[in-house]
Amino acid sequence: MLNYLENTKIKQKMSDFIQHAVRQNDLQKLLLEFTDIKNEFPFGQLAYQHYEAFGGQDEQAITKLAAGVELLILSADILDDIEDQDNDSYPWMNVNQGVAVNAATYLYTVSIQFITSICENNSQLIEKLFHFIKMSMEGQHEDLSHLYGTEEECVEVLRKKSGSLTALSSVLGVYLATRKMNATVESYSIYYGVAEQISNDFFALFSKTNGDFQKKQTLAFSYLQRHFNDVSLELLSFFSNRLDESEQKPFQLKQKLLEAGLTQYMVSMREIMLLKMKQGIAQLDLPKTKKEQLYAYMTKEGND
């Protein structure tokens, strides 16, 4: 499991690569500012966990891969925030947006260069890397364009947009260790990504600064739109800002979500995804202890 020291190594590797790859001083300074705010590396950790589980032992190589994956994810996060006009506290939301888009595109490009430099004769890696990137971008397009409405369609967008990026991290970690693509790892990692996004979307309901519920056809929004009860209508009104914020305190919102059945629904959907993930992990050709460690890490059991 990645400890503080190993996280520090990933962050340092990200900074080192930017300083080496980016020759334009102002752009380099801006990208270092963007990366400096990162202190958690869940996608790099996911690559590391799978690399270790499948017998990888080259710490330098996996640290490099983890850093490259995190740079790629950061570029996607920056573009996502700009497209949604969300998360004003981040530095890329407080500079000229054209400059931020160009910096994110540059970061996207050099992160791919960084990742593909790790393995020799890596045509499989490159093909799979772009497969996941394109899938995520398709999901983002559907998200931004509201090309879905039902709960099933929402889950499919989560599978593409979020599941593809978790799969990218896991699959590349396994590839670095074994030089083979693993379809089982890809499948259950997508379920894991959907489960994590469902959690994020639920907790975002309590955030005053997150506007995704109003801007997007989220899974929670699709559920409430089915109008199972009067409380669903109250919540739709609340999230559309038609009720004065003082009329709904946080603890009342929690109660309303329970009364509407939304909390139970989101928890159940997440548990379904985690069950499918667990079934996938069970199919791996690995020692039982390794499979248990992967499951414990991905469900946060025993994590610090």
Single out the residue of 41, 40, 298 nearest to residue 185, CA to CA: 298
pLDDT in tens, the chain (304 residues): 456 667 889 999 999 999 999 999 999 999 999 999 988 999 999 999 999 999 999 999 999 999 999 999 999 999 988 988 766 789 999 999 999 999 999 999 999 999 998 877 788 899 999 999 999 999 999 988 887 778 899 999 999 999 999 999 999 999 999 999 999 999 999 999 999 999 998 988 887 655 555 556 688 988 998 889 999 998 988 887 644 554 555 658 889 999 999 999 999 999 999 999 999 999 999 999 999 999 999 998 544 4
Single out the residue of 209, 207, 214 nearest to residue 241, CA to CA: 214
Q: What is the pTM of this model?
A: 0.90
DSSP 254-299: HHHHHHHTHHHHHHHHHHHHHHHHHHHHHTSSS-HHHHHHHHHHHT
Domains of the chain, earliest start first: 4-226+261-298 (1.10.600.10)
The torsion defined by the Cα of 216, 220, 225 and 226, in degrees rounded to 10, comes to: 150
Chain centroid to CA 70: how far? 10
CA–CA gap between residue 91 and residue 30 (Å, rounded): 9
Q: Name the one residue in this structure whose structure tokens are 């790099």.
A: 44
